[in-house]
Every structure is written in structure tokens, then in C-alpha cells.
Chain A
Amino acid sequence: MVKSRPVILCVDDEENSLLLRKLVLQKAGYEVLTATSGKEALQLTDSRTVDLIVSDHLMPGMNGTELAQLIKAHFPRLPIVLISGINEIPVGAHVADAFLSKIEGPAALCKEIASVLTSAGACAT
């Protein structure tokens, strides 16, 4: 049971967005951790087992792309999905496993996460 529920770390500086995204992901069957900054997210990945990170790109302090680069430096196999409100593919975002516009909607987000998790799993085995 524990094994069958992947843990997703959700990062966003806006609380409403973060909460609703968490609920959507929980509804999709994931266990969800949240962080409101890149720094907090990094601390959490040190203490908790995380299967995938979903991070907003545009955040004060460390942005999502910078977070993705740091994560990949420490945990090369930890998948990370970047989402953004400005549809922009930021410079350096290619280190993330996927990039998604926020307006693609919850269904597209869940689908993307599932697909990234599947290929990450395939890589692991």
C-alpha cells in the first residue's frame, strides 16, 4: 500500500494554488507534500522520500528552474515537473523532466505526472 502511493512534493509560493493542486493530486491517488519555496523543498527532500517534484517556475528567491538544477545535481534520478503561468519555457528548464503550462488544466497535469513517473520507474528497473 505504501509502495503503491508515490510521494509528490508540490512547490508553489501561492497558498491557494498550492492547496488546490495538492488536493487534485491527492484525488489522483498520490501522497502529497508541500513547500512554499525552493529552499523549503530542498530541506524536505533531505528528510523525506520523494518520488517526484511538481514546482511552479516563477517564485520569489529561488525559481523553479534553479530548484530543478539543484535537485538534479543532488538526486539525478528524482523526476521534476515544472509548471508556469506564462507558458514560457525558461532558459535551463530542460533539466526538468517536463514543462507544463498551468492552463493545461488538472487532467493534463495528472497525465504528465503519471507518464514521467512511469518512465522514471522504467529507468530505475
Chain B
Amino acid sequence: MIAHEAVGILMVDDQPGKLLSYEAILEPLGEKLLKANSGREALEHLLHNEVAVVLMDVSMPEMDGFQLADMIREHPRFQRTAIIFISAVHLTDVDRLKGYERGAVDYISVPVIPELLRAKVSVFAELYRKTQQLERLNRELERRVAERTEELRESESQFRSLANSIPQLAWMANAEAAMLWFNQRWYDYTGTTLEEVQGGGWKLLLHPEYVSRVVAGLDRCWAAGDAWEDTFPLRGQDGTYRWFLSRALPIRDASGHIVRWFGTNTDITERKQAEEALVKSERLAAMGRLAGIIAHEINNPLEAIANAFYLLRDHPSLDEEARYYSRLAEEELSRVAHITKQTLSFYRESRHAVPVSLSEILDNVIELQSRRFEMNRITLEKQFKTRGTVQGFPVELKQVFLNIIGNAVQAMPEGGRLRIALIECSDPRTRRKGVRVSVFDTGVGISREHSKKIFEPFFSTKETKGTGLGLWISKGIIQKYQGTIRFRSVRFAKGNVTCFSIFIPAAAAIESPELAGVLVA
């Protein structure tokens, strides 16, 4: 603070001698002294100078002190300016003085005592100075408050637009771990309101299996002030769960105290599904390789045994009974051969596409499923109008039709009709020539709700029985052939008809199988 800043003292008297004597008295105060010989002159000074105190004679010609005071008071700038009247003691004057309720007003009687005048003026000057300083300080404070408010508003709006533009769900909690704020994406995903998720309400959105782990982990980090990370499913507003990688960081003030927790939830469902699909397909591929090795190890001795029984068949040294046993053994052996051919023939396919007859593949699949047709009382209707030759890899094509036909069979636990049609046609969209396989069943049908998801990985209606990968893999294979796989499920009064239709161009340029050696479900 500045020690002494000179303020204006306006002295008003019609007598120059008095003005000179006031000047002499007030000189030691070191203030800025202004002299006026009349009310008019006084007003002139007031308009051009900052005046802390007006010292005026009450009795002046033209305009007396009280009139001048009234005029000064009328001006908004001078309503609080200190006025010291100098006058002989008149009762009427004291009464009039009381009329000035606002502003600092004092009164000095004549003869003027220099010390008293100096003291009074000095008090008012000091008061003015202090008031000025205070006002300056206030203004400065107000300016800084306004600035900071603007900065805050700006940074808050920046923060909000950032928080709402990131692909993550985001939230903030206070130091006591009470939720304060969530970004728009959080509300969009969860379909909740702030009221619903405050006070621990967010826990209801966690998958029940993960609640205790997540809460314990958060509590531990919140108590220690450590960053938190966990991965768990969160329920969306449609009721399905998606996987989120969740993180929270403490935000500290300058002294290191935690003031906020800032958290994000990143949707990693697709990454997780892809990882799981990869693990599964790798596992299946490994099983396929194993099947190939087993097939080889079994097939070699199997051939030798089959040849031995073939030689025994009509051997003259055997009697009737021995030939009968030999014939039985040969029959059973052919069953073993059949099984290894059907189930262990997940050999590595050749690296180049070969002509594949879809009618043969379908016949093969039908044969594999024939026992299930019988058990489920399913009648089969075959309409093969062509051999349906395409360039491809027999194993993966067989896998596709095993999946589609297997699904149809599973959709008809109470029996039904299965129609498999094979025709040559051209794709209505691309006009490419190719082969269409249509598989109709009269089973349970596909609900509208499920129909959007059936080609997604891990979607299964078969509870624990299905991997949920069948149609996803099938679609992947068909797409590789630049083909299409579509379905329709129609509800009739008599029951449902569901049709899966697969189009494969006759000559698609395809590479070696990516999902070779996938076992039959």
C-alpha cells in the first residue's frame, strides 16, 4: 500500500486572507490544497479535481456555505464528500447541520484553532484515502473475480465439449467418492439420470458378478489415492451388457489433496470378442491339425486291417463259422472307416481352390445328420437341380452347410419338415452366375429381436450347447467366396417357416482357408 498519496482539499472563502491562513495551517499535511473565492469557483474545482474534503465558510455573499453544500450534495460524485463548515456559533446553524444525514459533515467554530482544523481535515483526508484504496481494491477484486469466472466458464465449456466428444463414458466423483457428474455418453449408453446413478446407484449398472470386485477395488484405490483400473460389463439401456475397460485418476489441488476423481469407461466389447474368437478359432484350428494327425495314424493301420479282412473273406481255409466272424468284423471295420472319414477328415486342405460339388457336400452333410433326422422325426425333401460346382475348399463349405442344416434340425425338436434346394442362378444384385442353396425348416423360427444378432459372434439361443460362432464363421466363409448368406423367418397360422439362402458365385477368386480344420459341432 502506498504510504501517503496526496488528496485534494478545497478551501472556500470569500476573503483571500482567510484562505491564506487556512493554507498555512494545512500546509504541513502535505495534501493538495485548492482555493476558491466563491461557490461558483468551488464547483469549478470540484468538477476538475478529486477532492477529499471541502472546507467552507458558512457566510459568503452570493451563495452561502449551506447553499453550496446542497449543490455539492446533489451531484452523485460528491454525495459522500466530506464538508467542514467554518462559522460563528449560531443555534440555527447547528440545527441545519443535523439536516445533512448523509456524508461526512463537520463543523468548526471561529476563531479557528489551527491544531483542531488540521486534525479534522487530516482525519477526513485519511478516510478518503482509505475509502479510495478500498474501492480500488474492490474493483480489482471484482475484475479478477470476473476474469476467473470467465476463465472457469470457458474451461468448463471446453471440458464439457471434450468430455462429451470422447468415445468413452466419463464421470467425476468428489473426494468422498460421491458421484458428481457424468458425460452425455454415459447417459446415452445407460439411459439413466444423474439422480438415479448418484449415491451408489451406478452399482446397479454393473454386471452382478462383478459388483463386489469393482466396489472393493474402487474402495481400495479411493482410500489409498491410487489410480484405479478394472474390466467388467456395464448394462446399457437396452438391457444388454457390454465390456468396459474402466479407469479412474485422482485430481489433486496445489497442496496435494484429492479434490476430485475423474473416471472413464472404454467400450472394449468388440476387441474382447475378437480376442475370444481368435482364441477359439486357434483352438479349433489346433484341434483340426490334431484330427489330421489322428486320422493319419488310424487310417494307415485301418487300411491294412481292411485289406486283411478282404483277403480273409473267401479264404478256402476258413469254415463257415470263421467266415461269418470275419464278415462281422469287416462290417464293423467299415463303420470305423466311415467314422474316421466323416469326423477325422479335417485334414489340411490344398492351398488352391478346387472344383467342389455342393450337391456332394450337401449329401455328405445329410448323411451325417441322418440319424438326427430320424430321432427328431424330421422329413427331408431334397431338390437338387444341379451338381452345383464352385471353386473352393470342401471342408469349409461342408462346415457352412453342417452349421445351417444343424441349426435347422435343432430348431425342430418336435419334428418338422426340412427342404434343401440347390439351383443354378445369378445374383440379382451383381448378376454373377452361381449356385444357390436354400434350407427351409418348419422350426421355432427367429424372433425379430434375435434376427439382428444371429450373425454376431457369441450369439447363441442354444444356452450352453452352442458356441455362438457357427453363423458368424459361416458368414465369414461365404463372404470370402464373395457370396451372400441371408435368412427369412415367416410366421404362419400353421407354424413358422425359416429359410437360409446361400449364394456362391461359380468362379470366385479365393485364397487358402483361414479357418481350416474347424471341428463339427
Residues of A that sit less than 8 Å from B by CB: 14, 16-17, 20-21, 23-24, 27, 58, 83, 85-91, 101-103, 105-107
Chain B residues contacting A91 (CB-CB under 8 Å) are 350-352
Q: How large is the interface on B (under 10, 10 to 19, 20 to 34, 35 or more residues)?
A: 20 to 34
Would you give the 0/1 interface string for B71-105, flagging 1 where the beta carbon is closer than 8 Å to chain A?
Answer: 00000000000000000000000000000000000
Contact A21 B307 (CB under 8 A): yes
Contact B303 A88 (CB under 8 A): no
Instruction: Give the number of residue pairs across the A-B interface with Cβ within 8 Å.
Output: 73
Interface of B is mostly: helix
Contact A105 B337 (CB under 8 A): yes
Given A17-B303, A101-B341, check contact A86 B347 (CB 8 Å): yes
What's the minimum C-beta distance from B358 to chain A, rounded to whole angstroms? 18
Chain B residues contacting A88 (CB-CB under 8 Å) are 292, 347-350
Given A24-B310, A87-B341, check contact A103 B304 (CB 8 Å): no
Which of B300, B341, B348, B349 is packed against the most chain A CB atoms within 10 Å?
Answer: B300
How many angstroms between the C-alpha atoms of A16 and B305 in the bound complex?
A: 10
Chain A residues contacting B295 (CB-CB under 8 Å) are 85-87
Given A85-B300, A86-B295, check contact A23 B348 (CB 8 Å): no
Residues of B that sit less than 8 Å from A by CB: 292, 295-297, 299-300, 302-304, 306-308, 310-311, 334, 337, 340-341, 345, 347-352, 354
Contact B304 A86 (CB under 8 A): no
Of all chain A residues, the one with the shortest Cβ separation from B345 is A87
Of all chain A residues, the one with the shortest Cβ separation from B354 is A89
Chain A residues contacting B299 (CB-CB under 8 Å) are 85-87, 101-103
Chain B residues contacting A21 (CB-CB under 8 Å) are 303, 307
Contact A103 B310 (CB under 8 A): no
Chain A residues contacting B308 (CB-CB under 8 Å) are 20
Contact A103 B307 (CB under 8 A): no
Chain A residues contacting B306 (CB-CB under 8 Å) are 103, 105-106
Of all chain A residues, the one with the shortest Cβ separation from B395 is A87
Contact A103 B348 (CB under 8 A): no
Contact A17 B304 (CB under 8 A): yes
Chain A residues contacting B352 (CB-CB under 8 Å) are 91
